[in-house]
Amino acid sequence: MMHARFPMNRLALGVSLLLGVASAAVAGVTDQNLLDAGVKDNKSVLTWGIDYQGTRYSPLKQINADTIKDLVPAWTFSYGDEKQRGQEAQPLVYNGKIFVTASYSRIYAVDAKTGKKLWVYEHRLPDGILPCCDVINRGAALYGDLVIYSTLDAQLVALNQETGKVVWREKMDNYKDGYSNSAAPIVVKGLVITGVSGGEFGVVGRVDARDALTGKLVWTRPVIEGHMGYTFKDGQKTEAGLTGETGKTWPGDLWQTGGGATWLGGYYDPETDSVLIGTGNPAPWNAHTRPGDNLYSASSLAIDPSTGKIKWHYQTTPNDGWDFDGVNELVSFDLKKDGKTIKAVGKADRNGFFYVLDRTNGKLISATPFVTKQTWATGVDLKTGRPIETGVRPGDPSKSADGKKGETVFSAPSFLGGKNWMPMAYNKDTGLFYVPANEWGMDIWNEPITYKKGAAYLGAGFNIKPLYDDYIGALRAIDPATGKIVWEYKNYSPLWGGVLTTAGNLVFTGTPEGFLKAFDAKTGKELWSYQTGSGVVGCPVTWEMDGEQYIAVPSGWGGAVPLWGGEVAKRISYLTQGGSLWVFKLHKS
């Protein structure tokens, strides 16, 4: 489900440029700094995912399973005013400042020591923006003396880190056509890499690369089969080859409005020199209109950051008919199995399977369920890589008695997924992934649909239902070598925030009930919690400053669940919204 669906009032409210960018010529955050982020440098948080590979692991251990009892607030910062909606961001920390994005495409610079506001930039949003899943923003990127982030009207904005003044601003696409963006960009080799949102409007998903210092487009790669990629040099646009083959896995001209939005952005694996990124659902939701696999929607892609060429792909849900997407993050790690070490990537997909792929070629290694119920498939064939479907798909409306509504089926997971956007973490010491999962299903049916530019392009209706009375969310520790769940923590409401893990044998995540919680990374025992006053659906981070380890997390309930959660939304309607940044450290006696 992309970050664009209905108007805001419904929410009640070239390569040569790359080669010319040398790390030594950049003042501030350099390419080498980004390579060291989360690995050699733990005094900053420089990129989405904490490190390039997205492990969300920190080797810091001053805060650990023994000392966690002494963790207390250092300060809190309020975003203020009436704009208190979902706060899903991951903060960045550099040069004594915290950079954190907030709802309505705002970004703040805050003194990391005191919590004093240094500056705020509030992007002016037009009335006609089309966000699907709340007016959220997930974070920014740092390069040189710039902080760069995207906006809900599909712009990319670079600000001076010291002053908050705009240095450059580039239009990603036309928001009136359904495009938007809320993902955190990443910077690789001097290029700022972004995806696009808007899959429910029949946009065409793609990945763009711009010179991070100027904003000028260097290459663009559509991710729907049949579309042309391009490179740009000196104002000249040059064709860079088709994505796949026109019409091979799409009927007629539906590939021209095929969805596949890259709405969560990606990570970078320096070892294979690949941007690893997932693609979203094909459009429309009504799969009966588009027989075929519909490449490269609902897929995992490895893209050459210098050229935009797709190196390999793996499709998790061919001919997706449930809005399962495939956009979930791809986290690089070394898999030790059968006496071998494999350069692997882990992915907890919306469709309910945890996939392990060889990140050098995209070959499937394993696929195991991480939720308790999957009605759509019984497993994944390891030889073909394809799901073993049950045939439980919503009915074809063209074959119904009135031609208006196909047969309703109950499907699990729901379209909000076994795991949605919230990023998991991988602990290099325990060898476990920590996955924020949800247990829910949905009634879903198909309806006739015709494409109209700028209008919702679904052809489906739905109602989400919890599977169990006592819990929906479940933080699960998964062994990627076996697919087994080592431990789990159950939460009454859905889990909708990111995960952080550390060498201190800790796992942090938040709950919509307002708690930031810490667990023993090996056993899952809850060791600590703190009530922040609103739901925690952001991403916690950690860093060292003046010899002390700090933890930071945004607080502010919102996102897709209260908007589209059906019976689930009613069950947790008592939760309150907010907007603040909390920072913690150990109490000194």
123-157 burial code (b ≥16 CB/10 A, e <16): bebeeebbbbbbbbbbbbbbbbbbbbbbbbbbbbb
Q: What is the DSSP letter of 563?
A: H
Return contacts of 357-363, CB within 8 angstroms, 24+ apart: 357/300, 357/314, 357/330, 359/269, 359/272, 359/274, 359/276, 359/302, 359/330, 359/332, 360/272, 361/312, 362/300, 362/302, 362/311, 362/312, 362/313, 362/314, 363/314
Q: Residues 292, 261, 315, 409: is their CA dihedral positive or negative?
A: negative
Residue carrying structure tokens 């419904």 = 10
H or E element in which residue 15 lies: helix 15-20
- The CA distances from residue 571 to 22, 466, 566, in Å, are 53, 9, 9
- Among candidate residues 181, 39, 184, the one with its CA nearest the CA of residue 100: 184
Distance of CA 342 to the CA centre of its chain: 25
Query: Catalytic residues, which ones?
Result: 323
Q: Which three-class secondary structure state does DSSP give residue 282?
A: strand
Show the tokens assigned to 496. Answer: 């909708």
Strands (E), 338-467: 340-348, 353-358, 364-369, 377-380, 387-389, 409-411, 425-427, 432-438, 440-446, 460-466
Determine the 3-state secondary structure of 44 from DSSP. coil
Q: What contacts 119, CB < 8 A, 6 or more positions away? A: 108, 109, 163, 164
